[in-house]
Amino acid sequence: VPDPRTAHRPATASGPGRLLIAVYAIFAVAASARAGVQIATRFGDAPLAYALSAFAAVVYVVATVALARAGLAWWRVAVLACGVELVGVLVVGTVSLAYPDAFPDETVWSGYGRGYGFVPLVLPAIGLAWLRYTAPAARKRS
Amino acid sequence: VIDWFATVVIVAALLAAAWSGWYVARDRRPGRPLLVGLAVLEALTLVQLVVGIVLLVTGSRPDQLATFVGYLVAAVLAVPVGAAWALSEKSRSSTAVLVVACLVVPVLVLRLQQVWDGTGA
């Protein structure tokens, strides 16, 4: 049942949101699969990088699901996930360039996501902009 | 894998992406001709999966077997999953999901070739 207060705002999963969710889903699957293979086959080689890969994968999965769902609670989860993602790509990107020795193998967020055409850097920014645009009315008033 | 067939899949996927993009640019919803085109692309990825499995069974194995199989399967899933998501809402940007889904295929095929040749991570 659509909330009358939010009915005039587009749902996060409608319109451009569908394209955004599609890209998030690709990263969720790619990051999960990559982290799974890394941890299952050679975790000892680069434990920090692979743990971060797994963390990034979880963030992408949560963001994908939260964006695809309706309701204020999921909207908040989506904001949190995209926020963590933005902080993650900035921090890991910076640390990976400053201390390359700490990252013997690439993660999704290494070098600000340059291994993935910098999409990991752009994606959370677009995600947060879209969440701002679809912000529930009740939250906007406060 | 088989280079010429991989090229066929990549070209077909790029054509399907361009065709989907044409629908987005003209703000039209996907019609039967485009769906047939996507089905052809899907058939090609299925053939690629079968060829890949046959190659594995007949002896040659890439170092990263799990990754190789993952790319083979992902290439088969990309178009139908993307199409299901794209067609479940009739809007311009939902149609654009088809472009993204089609563009995923060439990326997967290129990675598939890298894993097969043992180059790249």
Distance (Å, rounded) from C-alpha A70 to C-alpha A2? 9
Quick one: tokens of B93? 């940007």
Do B70 and A33 lie within an 8 Å CB cutoff? Answer: yes
* pLDDT, chain B, mean: 93
Nearest CA in chain B to A20: B97
How is residue B91 annotated by DSSP?
S
Distance (Å, rounded) from C-alpha A134 to C-alpha A122? 18
pLDDT tens-digit profile, chain A (142 residues): 555 555 567 899 999 999 999 999 999 999 999 899 889 988 888 888 899 999 999 999 999 999 999 999 999 999 999 999 999 999 999 999 998 888 777 888 999 999 889 999 999 999 999 999 999 875 554 4
Does residue A18 sit at the B interface (CB-CB below 8 Å)?
yes
Complex prediction ipTM = 0.90
Does residue B85 sit at the A interface (CB-CB below 8 Å)?
yes
Of A18, A25, A29, the CB nearest to B93: A18
Chain centroid to CA A23: 10
Quick one: tokens of A71? 């309701």
Distance (Å, rounded) from C-alpha B19 to C-alpha B13? 10
Tens digit of pLDDT for each residue in B79-121?
Answer: 999 999 999 999 999 999 999 999 999 999 999 999 998 865 4
Do B94 and A19 lie within an 8 Å CB cutoff? Answer: yes
Task: With beta carbons under 8 A apart, name residues in chain A contacting B86.
Answer: 18, 22
Q: Which of B89, B90, B98, B114 to mutate against chain A (most A CBs within 10 Å)?
A: B89
Question: How many residues make up chain B in this entry?
Answer: 121
pLDDT of residue B95: 95
DSSP chain A: ---TTTTTSPPTTSTHHHHHHHHHHHHHHHHHHHHHHHHHHHGGG-HHHHHHHHHHHHHHHHHHHHHHS-SHHHHHHHHHHHHHHHHHHHHHHHHHHH-GGG-SS--TTGGGGGGGTTHHHHHHHHHHHHHHHT--HHHHH-
Q: What is the pTM of this model?
A: 0.89
